Homo-oligomer: A and B are copies of this chain.
Amino acid sequence: MKQIYMDYSATTPMKPEVLSAMQEALKETYGNPSSVYSLGQEAKEKIEEARGYLAPLIGAKPREIFFTSSGTEADNWAVHIAKKTKPGKHMITCAIEHHAVLHTMEAAQKEGYEVTFLPVDRYGFIDLEELEREIRDDTILISIMYVNNEIGTIMPIEEIGAIAKRKGILFHTDGVQALGNVPLDMSSSTVDMMSMSAHKIYGPKGIGALYIRQGTRVVPLLHGGAQERRMRASTENVPGIIAFGEAARLAEAQLEDHVERLTKLRDKLKDGLMQIPDSFFNGHPTKRHPGNVNICFKYIEGESMLLLLDAIGVCASSGSACTSGSLDPSHVLMGIGLPHEIAHGSLRLTLGDFTVEEDVDYVIKHLPGIIERLREMSPLTPQK
């Protein structure tokens, strides 16, 4: 059975070029970059080369990029930097952030910080006036994600950043889903810090980065050795960094094509699936991740849908409670105001560079039967 991977926002397979760069590095570039001998120094050079590939993808200077172990670590670090370098006890974020930001903020609350979780409208947008109203004298950080990972909405980051700048508040954005999917140019941006992750752009898992604008005070989250200019300790994950660099290089070269091609596929998939009765499209229709389709199907539960999709070779995700391992449907779907019974029936299909039109056609053809079947089994479906 052909496997149709439509969960690119969860993680991506690696591109062949990235894979071979990494495989080679694992074998050859094993020297510790802190070492004096050539083997170590070569590793160090390759790290700088990779930093030099990531920089243009986001319009940054190489020295503004610090490698981390993941997007999660980058998010945690950004909040830590605000806490340790700014005087004040208040932070602002929004209700539909990734847990890497939300739970970090909640941990800060336990330490005595006050956090405002801004509500969002049905598209996932915060109210800019409300943001301004919530800013206090002791606000040290505004953290609003660039692109939402579930509903795909692209936030008005520069407008938010302009407010932050005007008020002199540090502005962080979780750019994990934006990287490689949205044109980014930190050199003309209001963003002070941005989180990134390699495994969302056809790179390996276990490597990420935090962009930190020049002029920002930095303190480490992980203490230890002098790596990353003393700001992020631990022996560098050299092969991971090299692969991240290669993935970034490709993403930069292909960005326009990537967005154009995916957008077409996405809209075709959306139009096809919205033919199914009692379906609700989530997120903004156009201001959205080029590969993200998120739809709720009434009367049915997400995990069941995923299992039946898996049985026909389709990999997808859902914001239902059962798939998140928690009791409630995803906080994002709740955040945009969906009632429980609709949110439980959510399906997220995220397309990527290996998706072809036939895959889209296949899902359009087979999903209606799956929905039908589950609805027949559901006590909630109205009797015909």
Chain A positions within 8 Å of B, measured between CB atoms, are 3, 5, 7, 10-14, 19, 22-23, 26-27, 30-32, 34-40, 69-73, 75-76, 98-101, 103-104, 106-107, 197, 199, 204-207, 220, 222-226, 233-240, 303, 306-307, 309-310, 314-318, 323-326
Contacts and interface: CB of A to CB of B under 8 A. Distances in A.
B13 A30 contact: yes
B7 A32 contact: yes
Between A30, A99, A223, A309, the greatest number of chain B beta carbons within 10 A of the residue's beta carbon is seen for: A223
A223 B103 contact: yes
Given A205-B237, A206-B207, 16 more contacts: A5-B39, A11-B30, A14-B27, A36-B306, A36-B323, A37-B307, A69-B237, A72-B234, A75-B224, A76-B223, A98-B224, A99-B225, A99-B233, A101-B224, A205-B235, A206-B240
A240 B75 contact: no
A35 B315 contact: yes
Contacts of A26: 14, 19, 22-23, 204
| Integer count of this chain's copies in the complex | 2
A183 B99 CA distance: 39
B310 A38 contact: yes
Contacts of A309: 37
7 contacts: A14-B30, A23-B23, A23-B26, A69-B69, A69-B234, A72-B234, A206-B237
A261 B223 CA distance: 35
A239 B314 CA distance: 22
Given A37-B310, A199-B235, A222 B11 contact: no
Contacts of A318: 36
A224 B31 contact: no
A186 to B, nearest CB: 23
Contacts of A13: 30
Contacts of A222: 70, 72-73, 76, 100
Contacts of A324: 226
Given A224-B103, A317-B35, A234 B11 contact: no
A85 B77 CA distance: 21
A223 B99 contact: yes
Nearest to A219: B107
A103 B69 contact: no
